[in-house]
Copies of this chain bind each other. A is one copy, B any other.
Amino acid sequence: MTSDQHDPMDSPRYAEIATFMRAPLVRDVTGLDVAMVGVPFDGAVTNRPGARLGPREIRNQSSNLRKIHPVTRVNPFSAARVADVGDVRLPEIYDLPAVVRDIEAFFAKVCGAGAKPLTAGGDHSITHPILRAVGSERAVGLIQIDAHTDTWDEFLGSPLHHGAPFRRAVEAGVIDPKRTVQIGIRGPQNFTDGWDYSEDSGMTVVFMHEVDQHGLDGVIEIARTVVGDGPTYVSFDIDGIDPTFAPGTGTPEVGGFSSREALALVRGLRGLDVVGADVVEVAPPLDPSGNTALLGATIMYELLCLMVDSTIQGEP
């Protein structure tokens, strides 16, 4: 299932239609190990919009990537069946409950076919319906890299905004807060409700000012301990990274991870049972250099490698 149309030995990277990492575009998820999906939706943001344009630009910048991982020397595209399956169709973009239903239905099909979803958002509200699909049979563990806990309650009239997906996911029983770790939390808040809910529900919260105390290896160890061997979802909000490295995002908070730390953090999760992952909140109009989308694409590649490693290990 490799694409004979785009063998990088023949074509320069800027050529041809842009799919995620130059993988083949297919519409039928049957037989895939990993399905890469775009969710071009930002109707649930509380601050600056733009993430609806994320999947398009992440696809564009992902052409700069290549196949064989420099550390593990694994080629995920030969080790597993990986494809770009296009974007979730959203016929009712102004109706948040309808959007949640449509996203959940799409991912239910992906998971039902046995594929693991790797998603490019879109704002963080999309992770709630993804988790409803991924965790429908059993609550999953969660590793969340983010500046914000995203565990607020209703805000600006809705419980489905992008600051609430993980509270909704706990309520729906699709993530296990005891197996949830939130890493990189920082920035002032107008109320402590999000911080409080995360801790009260049993999540492990690693604030950014604690990262230097623990060291990156310490943070990885915490994350691995919290989620253990069970099935785990990884949600990477690009605002977990410092806005200098990732200016293209709607709710920036100064003082986050560097891009090098971000790669090391994801690589540190190798061996976990990663059943799905996403990169969200990349907002290209706020990103003059295009670096945020390149960074988002690179993190997607690292997450893909994690997922493929899990797939290989999980096979007989």
Which A positions have Cβ atoms within 8 angstroms of B?
5, 8-19, 25, 27, 38, 40, 42-44, 46-50, 52-53, 55-56, 59-60, 64-71, 73, 84, 86-87, 89-96, 98, 156-158, 160-161, 185-192, 195, 207-209, 212, 242-245, 247, 251-252, 254-256, 258-260, 263-264, 267, 285-291, 294-295, 298, 301
List B contacts of A289 (CB < 8 A): 247, 286-289
List B contacts of A64 (CB < 8 A): 47, 251-252
* A157-B91, A207-B70 known; A53 vs B43 contact (CB < 8 Å): no
List B contacts of A89 (CB < 8 A): 10-11, 15
List B contacts of A13 (CB < 8 A): 46-47
List B contacts of A90 (CB < 8 A): 11-12, 15, 156
> Which of the residues B91, B264, B287 comes within 8 Å of A212, measured between beta carbons?
B264
| Interface contact B190-A68, CB-CB below 8 Å | yes
> Which of the residues B70, B188, B264 comes within 8 Å of A189, measured between beta carbons?
B70
| Interface contact B49-A42, CB-CB below 8 Å | yes
| Interface contact A48-B285, CB-CB below 8 Å | yes
* A242-B260, A244-B291 known; A158 vs B95 contact (CB < 8 Å): yes
A49 to B25, CA, bound (A): 27
* A96-B94, A247-B290, A287-B289 known; A66 vs B295 contact (CB < 8 Å): no
> Which of the residues B11, B161, B254, B301 comes within 8 Å of A294, measured between beta carbons?
B254
Closest B residue to A260 using CB positions: B255
| Interface contact B15-A18, CB-CB below 8 Å | no
| Interface contact B18-A17, CB-CB below 8 Å | yes
List B contacts of A251 (CB < 8 A): 64
A–B complex contacts, Cβ < 8 Å, 21 sampled: A5-B27, A11-B89, A11-B90, A14-B48, A14-B52, A14-B56, A17-B25, A42-B49, A48-B52, A48-B285, A67-B188, A68-B188, A70-B187, A94-B156, A208-B260, A243-B294, A244-B295, A254-B298, A285-B285, A288-B288, A288-B289
